[in-house]
Amino acid sequence: MSEQKFDFTSVIDRKGKDAFAIDALGMEEFKGMAPSKPKEGFDIIPMWVADMNFAVPPSITNEIKNRLNHPLFGYFFPKKEYYNAIINWQEKRNGVQNLKEENIGYENGVLGGVISACNILCSRGDKILVHSPTYIGFTMCLENNGYKIIHSPLYQDQNDNLKWKMNYNDMEEKIKKEKIHCAIFCNPHNPCGRVWEKEEILKAMEIFEKYDVQVISDEIWSDLILFNNKHIPTQSVNDYAKYNTIAFYAPTKTFNLAGLIGSYHIIYNKKLKDRIVKESSLSHYNSMNILSMYALIGAYDKIGEEWLEELKQVLSKNVDFVVNFIKDKFKGVKVFKPEGTYMLFVDCEEWCKNNNKSLDDVLNGCWDVGAVIQSGKAFHGEWFIRINVASPFERIKEGFERMDKYVFNK
Ligand SMILES: Cc1ncc(COP(=O)(O)O)c(C=O)c1O
């Protein structure tokens, strides 16, 4: 790795600093969701909640600080710079041409946007196609809002390094049988780490077009593409995709800004655009926070981009290390090396069965020694654990050494 300009090695103590990943451990109100606290003598290595243990690029804090120098925070509307930052970012990073301000709209979180989109594409109780394993946020929001999730399981190709793939026959059958007209597409896929290729998106789109299915494409992870992979915006694959997809993006995952909130949609179809803007305005809740606007402007600039390039190197190194560590030392544990995101979805079934252990034994064993990983059950991976590797390398190494010594090779 070439010399780094930004600091991805310092271990920052987040305790008591508004960090769910640290402070929620063992709390009664988060029982069932948050892991337990480690035993005496072990500190917390957070490898669960999908945020990072790295400071944001200085361009973000500088933009926010500059704005704070003007101590008035009244009603406002998004600046031209906000839209221009998105238009330039999408062109530079994703090759999106001719994106216009009118195609972009603020969303108070990607999940909120997903639900607004469902509300305009479906009527209550409608069935929505979602791949499984499934991001837990989709499951919770869709169920909370009265939609029925129809899962189309991805499968791991045994002849292709356990790569997760779509089962097009299954998708088509379910769409036809269940009369589905709305699908959620996660590109790149959380938790499986696939960065979908153009041919794969096209094949899915052909099925969607054939059955008049409109698509909600969650591209929140699209900046975090590892190794030699490339993000293909869902809307870019053909005209049907362009005019029948509601796409969501955000700087929050990329730049560790989840606590500031702030996502946006890209929609080319005027009717869908007008309807989603109307839908999300009904509650008067979908307004931008002024500091999150400046955070995006700071994120999507040259320094932000340089920082992101370094981050991707750091994440790639961590992913390489972890995948090799698992293959070398955790006999019977299987993992597909993610092409994007900073999450690993790890199959412990064979190891558990060979060692007469349950998934809870694995989880509790790891939590006891501060290697705070997450159960894959809520993502529809009965025997899986989900591991976040967005921390300084030394912390990830330490976490895996503890898992080796105290859990998998005790
Ligand atoms: C695929 C996916 N979509 C949405 C979100 C959450 O986005 P937001 O906080 O903007 O609602 C996450 C967070 O992990 C995610 O992984």
Question: From atom 2 of ligand 1, which residue's Cα is the shortest distance away?
Answer: 220
Amino acid at 323: V
User: 331 CA to middle of ligand 1, Å?
Assistant: 32
Q: Is 135 in the pocket of ligand 1 (CB under 6 A)?
A: yes
Q: Is 130 in the pocket of ligand 1 (CB under 6 A)?
A: no
pLDDT of residue 308: 98
pLDDT of residue 3: 75
Q: Is 49 in the pocket of ligand 1 (CB under 6 A)?
A: no
pLDDT of residue 30: 95
- The mean per-residue pLDDT over the stretch 338-365 comes to 98
Whether the per-residue pLDDT at 52 is higher than 90: the answer is yes
pLDDT-derived band at 35 (thresholds 50, 70, 90) equals very high
Amino acid at 59: S
- Its CATH class, for the domain covering 60-300, is alpha beta
Q: How far apart, in Å, are the Cα atoms of 336 and each of 192, 197, 220, 297?
A: 8, 16, 21, 35
pLDDT-derived band at 2 (thresholds 50, 70, 90) equals low
- The per-residue pLDDT for range 208-233, each reduced to its tens digit, is 999 999 999 999 999 999 999 999 99
- The per-residue pLDDT for range 250-278, each reduced to its tens digit, is 999 999 999 999 999 999 999 999 999 99
Q: Indicate the fold that domain 20-50+304-408 takes in CATH.
A: Aspartate Aminotransferase, domain 1 (3.90.1150)
Is the Cβ–Cβ distance between 38 and 367 less than 8 Å?
yes
Best substitution site from 140, 187, 220 to test ligand 1's pocket, by max atoms within 8 Å of Cβ?
Answer: 220
- The per-residue pLDDT for range 115-170, each reduced to its tens digit, is 999 999 999 899 999 999 999 999 999 999 999 999 999 999 999 999 999 999 99
Q: Is 216 in the pocket of ligand 1 (CB under 6 A)?
A: no
User: 51 CA to middle of ligand 1, Å?
Assistant: 10
Domain extent listing, the chain: 20-50+304-408, 60-300
Alpha-carbon span 40 to 42, nearest angstrom = 6
pLDDT above 90 coverage of the chain, percent: 98
pLDDT-derived band at 91 (thresholds 50, 70, 90) equals very high
Q: Which H, E and C letters describe 197-266, residue by residue?
A: CHHHHHHHHHHHHHCCCEEEEECCCCCCECCCCCCCCHHHCCHHHHHHEEEEECCHHHHCCHHHCCEEEE
Q: Is 190 in the pocket of ligand 1 (CB under 6 A)?
A: yes
User: 248 CA to middle of ligand 1, Å?
Assistant: 10
Count the helices and strands in the chain (H runs, E runs).
Answer: 15, 15
